[in-house]
């Protein structure tokens, strides 16, 4: 890949603060429902793990489920087979349960569409609540998040949005817009 010609820091988010306010909202929304926690591979899993730490293991019923939507994407005929795929692992039956679905970024809505399709192949949940760390503009499907950590409005359409998975020692997230020659 060519070196980015220009990098602009768009936003600088305090992750810990954002996660804590998301956790508070989750607690309010799902208290007493014994929800099951599902993270979308890969970014959503990290966010789900962090939220589980804040909310405590007793809030959720069972271990973290991981959803890898590679086989449910709508771009197979355009971009072909993905490289190595870690299979989804939902270590619980979803039938009639309340699910909390976590992803890092909500953008077009296509990932969530694929995730919902996959979840329903496991069974019929009672409800699905979607929480995302970042919601950015550019939605292409009628998919909305219930709980949003941070909303990002981008006026230009960058060809690539970079954001690094934050390190535990440095819980801040810088979102940069990069443009190539």
Partner 1 sequence: MTNNQLTESGKLKHFLTIEGLKRDLLTDIMDRAEQFSSLSGRQVKKVPLLRGKTIMNLFFEDSTRTRTTFELAAKRLSADVMSLNINTSATSKGESLLDTLHNLQAMHADMFVVRHNESGAAEFIAQHVAPHVSVINAGDGCHAHPTQAMLDMFTIRRHKQHFPDLCVAIVGDVLHSRVARSQIQALAILGVGEVRIIGPQTLLPTDSQTLGVHVYHDMEKGLKDVDVVITLRLQFERMQGALLPSPQEYYESYGLTQAKLDLAKPDAIVMHPGPINRGVEIASSIADGPQSVILEQVTHGIAVRMAVMSMALGSQPEQQDKTA
Identity of the residue, 12 or 95, whose beta carbon is nearer to partner 1 in the bound complex: 95
Judged by CB under 8 A, the number of residues near partner 1 is 20
96 near partner 1, judged by CB under 8 A: no
Contacts by 85-90, CB closer than 8 A, 24 or more apart: 86/41, 88/41, 88/118, 89/65, 90/38, 90/65, 90/66, 90/119, 90/122
Out of 5, 79, 167, 168, point to the residue binding partner 1 (CB under 8 A): 79
| x/- track of binding to partner 1 for residues 101-140 (CB under 8 A) | ----------------xx-xxxx-----------------
**CA atoms of 75 and 78, how far apart (whole Å):** 5
Nearer to partner 1, 62 or 138 (CB): 62
Distance, in Å, from the CA atom of 53 to the CA atom of 16, rounded to the nearest integer, reads 11
- 47-55, 85-93, 97-105, 166-174 -> range binding partner 1 (CB under 8 A): 85-93
Of all residues in the chain, what percent are helix, strand and coil, respectively (each to 5)? 30, 30, 40
CB count within 10 Å of CB 4 equals 17
If one asks whether residue 80 binds partner 1 (CB under 8 A), the answer comes out as yes
Which residues here bind partner 1, judged by CB under 8 A? 71-72, 76-81, 84-89, 117-118, 120-123
């Amino acid at each position: 890949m060519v070196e980015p010609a220009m990098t602009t820091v768009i936003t600088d988010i305090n992750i810990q603060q954002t996660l804590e306010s998301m956790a508070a909202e989750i607690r309010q929304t799902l208290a007493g429902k014994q929800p099951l926690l599902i993270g979308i591979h890969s970014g959503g899993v990290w966010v789900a793990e962090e939220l589980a730490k804040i909310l405590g293991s007793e809030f959720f019923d069972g271990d973290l489920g991981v959803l890898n939507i590679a086989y449910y994407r709508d771009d197979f005929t355009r971009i072909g087979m993905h490289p190595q795929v870690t299979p989804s692992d939902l270590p619980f039956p979803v039938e009639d349960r309340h699910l909390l679905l976590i992803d890092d970024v909500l953008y077009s809505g296509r990932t969530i569409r694929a995730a919902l399709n996959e979840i329903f192949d496991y069974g019929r949940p009672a409800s699905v609540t979607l929480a995302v760390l970042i919601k950015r503009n550019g939605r292409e499907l009628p998919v909305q998040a219930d709980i949003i950590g941070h909303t990002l409005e981008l006026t230009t359409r960058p060809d690539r949005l970079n954001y690094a998975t934050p390190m535990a020692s440095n819980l801040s997230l810088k979102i940069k817009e990069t443009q190539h020659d």
